[in-house]
Amino acid sequence: MAQDSASTEALPQVVVTATRTAVPAFDTPASISRIGSEEIRNAHSLVNISEDLAAVPGLLARDRQNYAQDVQISVRGFGARSTFGIRGVRLYVDGIPATLPDGQGQITNVELGSVGRIEVLRGPFSALYGNSSGGVINVFTEEGSSSPRLGFEAASGSNGVLRVGAKAVGVTGGLGYVISGSRFHTDGYRDHSAADRQLANAKFTLHPDEDSKLTLVLNSVYLPEAQDPLGLSRAQYEANPRGVDQSALDYNTAKTVNQAQAGLVYERRLSAAHSIQLTAYGGHRGTEQMQSIPKASQGSPLHPGGVIDLARDYNGLDARWTMKTALAGSPFTLVAGIAYDVLDEQRQGYQNFIGNTLGVIGALRRNESNHVNSFDQYLQANWSVTPSFSVNAGLRHSKVSFKSRDHYIVAGNPDDSGSTDYGDTMPVLGVLYAVNENLHLYASAGRGFETPTLNELAYRSGGQTGLNFGLQAATSNSVELGVKARLPGWGELSAAAFETRTQHEIVTQTNSGGRSTFQNAGGTKRTGLELAWSGSWWQSLKAQVAATLLNATYTDGFLTCTATPCTAPNVAIAAGNRIPGIAKGSAFASLAWMPVAGWRGGVELRRLTAVPVNDANTDAAAGFTVASANIGYVYSSERWELSGFLRGDNLTDKKYAGSVIVNEGNSRFFEPAPGRSWLIGTAATMRF
């Protein structure tokens, strides 16, 4: 397609804050992607963050169609083993951690209807966020504007999907506000997969004077019940992908969640050179989960039961100082800070039966208080040595302490109280060379650190009680080479080659009925290549391409369990086997016509290669290619904006596994994705 200056449009400069200072992404020696509000809200259901992350290379966000287990996210292979929630990837919402100090996170608290942008940081510089930061996802709510507006939106589609939301935005008396809420319901694509979720989010901003800013963020999540259809075996998946294992019905597997949190951020400019930022947050999350542990397995006095009841209180502080000055006559920025985070957990376990009645809360079988705290100190510097050459460096020290007090001590079940500490120092260095204003080359290297989470420590192999304090932290060393280019008339292109070597990799030992035990393997290696391109023409035609090649393997062999019950690892995993849950290749491409008003539409294509489901590599979820399309219309006037859209996903009705449960002990690895599905939505906004 030939282009001329009249038909092409330069992409706006993308500014990111993932490196803790606002800088153009083009000028950073790191892989950073930014998704704006227009992309987030264009013809999407606004239910799962996985809808918005497909165009990020190196990141795999898989919608499990299981709202009892959250979205499955991995970055360059980190986080792929997680059977529920998100681990190995750090999550932040408006500067407030959505990852707890033990490294376990969840992203269900994001109200996508009010999100202004999402930033994703990959590679060595992720380590500057501390424990379990194989990648970093920062979500930012939009801020109140001087033009007040009130909006409503609704979307309905296949499998009983219904989402309704409302949002108020404005400024009154100098106080900016964004208040939003939504309710989502689905009958589920699979049997026993219905869910209902209610979200509320409020962000208030105030400028006490011209040198300071105060931000208050309030958030709540209520999940009265999300049914858990579990995974399917190969035979079950082939016979009926919409089905469910009978054990899920017998024990009424499901999860209930109730969470509320608040965060306060104070920013102040002390002088032209110095500024500070103080962040404080706190919250409570209650979870009750019914599992499919067979009644017969719970006879031993050591067994913790088939119901998990968690009450978690968490809070933290982050204090940061920034200095912008000159070093040897060149711009120099220094950031120094400390962070302290605390998690107090009350973990109880109950039998999932009373007499012959299954799927109900029975006798107490576990009761313990767990405490985790992390104390981090960090230092980052950026020095523009010359107009063409800059250096970024950082250093972070983390100490994470775990302590457990056992309150369930009966005959045959001893006191399992205990504690352990993990710590490491993580250096990062990156250099960037500007060949010219349109071509930048960079290189970076760093060390990462990943502790076991409380959930990974929660169970010991062989049916033993207490936390698995024998687990070590994993450490990793990463290097990255990259290029960022502006192509006049053809948008922007970025490419990165990387390698990460990990020692003491935390791997599954056993996994059955939602219960996992873990161990340390030897080493792993992840090598890959990422490519991203985006372009825009005639102001309204936009295109994106993202592609990833990733080879993730074990470099040392180890022993594991592949069936249950298993009291000691007895199956050899050979060096060279692929790490399960990670695809060798993925690709995304989209083309959209998106004028400010009038008709709009677009097409998307996603490709994923086969994904091994266990360490032995004896089975895999097949690769797939799926296509989506949408069409819509936007009407805009001085006071009103009205819009509607129709979206179709998996247009060829492809049968494929949307995600996998890694190393599932009953070989129920597969979580099927929906077939052809439709979504229709409408929105109305009134400006005051």
Residue 511 has pLDDT above 70, yes or no: no
Residue 350 has pLDDT above 50, yes or no: yes
pTM: 0.93
Closest CA to 72 of 57, 88, 55, 60: 60
- Percent of the chain beyond pLDDT 70? 97
Residue 7 has pLDDT above 50, yes or no: no
Contacts of 370 (CB under 8 A, 6+ apart): 343, 344, 345, 346, 347, 402, 403, 404, 405, 454, 467
Question: Which of 20-29, 131-140, 147-156, 238-247 has the weakest average pLDDT?
Answer: 20-29
Residue 533 lies in a domain: yes
Residue 554, amino acid: Y
Residue 9 lies in a domain: no
The predicted structure's pLDDT at residue 415: 87
User: DSSP for 236-289?
Assistant: HHHH-TT---HHHHHTT-EEEEEEEEEEEEEEEE-SSSEEEEEEEEEEEEEEEE
Structure tokens at 474: 């994993």
Sign of CA dihedral 662, 666, 667, 672: negative
Contacts of 616 (CB under 8 A, 6+ apart): 560, 562, 571, 573, 577
The predicted structure's pLDDT at residue 1: 36
Residue 3 lies in a domain: no
The span from the CA of 351 to the CA of 361, in Å, is 6
Tokens 């799962």 belong to residue: 48
Residue 1 lies in a domain: no
Structure tokens at 382: 């950026």
The predicted structure's pLDDT at residue 2: 37
The predicted structure's pLDDT at residue 575: 95
- Percent of the chain beyond pLDDT 90? 77
Supply the DSSP symbol for 665.
T
Average pLDDT, the chain: 92
Residue 311 has pLDDT above 80, yes or no: yes
The span from the CA of 457 to the CA of 468, in Å, is 5
Place 3 in a pLDDT band, splitting at 50, 70 and 90. Answer: very low
The span from the CA of 201 to the CA of 206, in Å, is 17
Which whole-number Å values give the CA distances from 546 to 286, 485, 522, in the listed order?
Answer: 38, 15, 32
| Residue 521 near residue 572 (C-beta atoms within 8 A) | no
Q: What is the pLDDT of residues 160-195, one digit of tens each?
A: 999 999 999 999 989 999 999 999 999 999 999 999
User: DSSP for 634-660?
Assistant: EEE-SSEEEEEEEEEESTT----EEEE
Residue 92 lies in a domain: yes
Q: What is the pLDDT of residues 442-466, one digit of tens each?
A: 999 999 999 999 888 887 776 677 7
Contacts of 232 (CB under 8 A, 6+ apart): 241, 243, 244, 245, 668, 669, 670, 671, 672
| Residue 61 near residue 551 (C-beta atoms within 8 A) | no
Q: What is the pLDDT of residues 26-38, one digit of tens each?
A: 999 999 999 998 8
The predicted structure's pLDDT at residue 512: 58
Contacts of 576 (CB under 8 A, 6+ apart): 553, 554, 555
Residue 5 lies in a domain: no
Residue 2 lies in a domain: no
Q: What is the pLDDT of residues 383-399, one digit of tens each?
A: 999 999 999 999 999 99
End-to-end CA distance of the chain: 43
Structure tokens at 384: 């523009």
Contacts of 31 (CB under 8 A, 6+ apart): 57, 58, 121, 122, 123, 480, 482, 494, 496, 530
Residue 14 has pLDDT above 80, yes or no: no
Indicate which CATH number applies to the domain containing 193. Answer: 2.40.170.20
Q: Which domain holds residue 586?
A: 15-687
Q: How many domains does the chain have?
A: 1
Q: What is the pLDDT of residues 512-550, one digit of tens each?
A: 555 678 899 889 999 999 999 999 999 899 999 999 999
Which one has a higher pLDDT value, 2 or 591? 591
| Residue 43 near residue 649 (C-beta atoms within 8 A) | no
The predicted structure's pLDDT at residue 565: 67
Place 413 in a pLDDT band, splitting at 50, 70 and 90. Answer: confident
Task: State phi, psi for 26 to the nearest 5 degrees.
Answer: -65, -20
Residue 72 lies in a domain: yes
Task: State phi, psi for 38 to the nearest 5 degrees.
Answer: -65, -40
Question: Which of 401-415, 435-449, 587-601 has the weakest average pLDDT?
Answer: 401-415
Residue 257 has pLDDT above 60, yes or no: yes
Closest CA to 362 of 318, 303, 405: 303
Question: Which of 80-89, 371-380, 549-558 has the weakest average pLDDT?
Answer: 80-89
The predicted structure's pLDDT at residue 72: 87
